[in-house]
Amino acid sequence: MCAAGGAATDGSDALTGAVATSVARLGSAMVLSVSGPIDLLTVPALDAAIADALTDKPAVFVVDLCAVTFLGTAGLRTLLLTHEALVGTGHFAVVADGPVAARPIELTGLNEVFGLYRSVDDALSALG
């Protein structure tokens, strides 16, 4: 179901382990789409992309992980810190479906901390 609303499909390279991001502004919402693996080596690029997207202070910030090929603990930490940074100033949600990204979020209980949706459209409808 992740395909609804679009997911990042450009720039990542499974052989080199690169992560790619793209940003879309949809009204008052900002959607950061991520592709490739998110681990200790690639999370600094994700952190930078999130920081850059948040400089615009969106009312709603959605991280789309539908094209992520691996989600490690460093990525989970980044999602938690992003949620904490937005408490009281904006709404935060994550889009993920399936074992690669949604399962680690659910197993750690982070889906009880921030919204986890199956598509960008679902997240935007719920938040805004």
User: In the prediction, which pLDDT does 1 show?
Assistant: 74
* pLDDT, the chain, mean: 90
Which region holds residue 115: left if phi is over 0, alpha if psi is between -120 and 50, else beta? beta
How many H helices and E strands in the chain?
4, 5
Contact 81, 103 (CB under 8 A): no
Contact 91, 128 (CB under 8 A): yes
State pLDDT tens for residues 40-92. Answer: 999 999 999 999 999 989 999 999 999 999 999 999 999 999 999 999 999 99
Residue 15 pLDDT exceeds 50: no
User: In the prediction, which pLDDT does 3 show?
Assistant: 61
Q: What is the pTM of this model?
A: 0.89
User: In the prediction, which pLDDT does 16 show?
Assistant: 52
Place of tokens 């982070």: 110
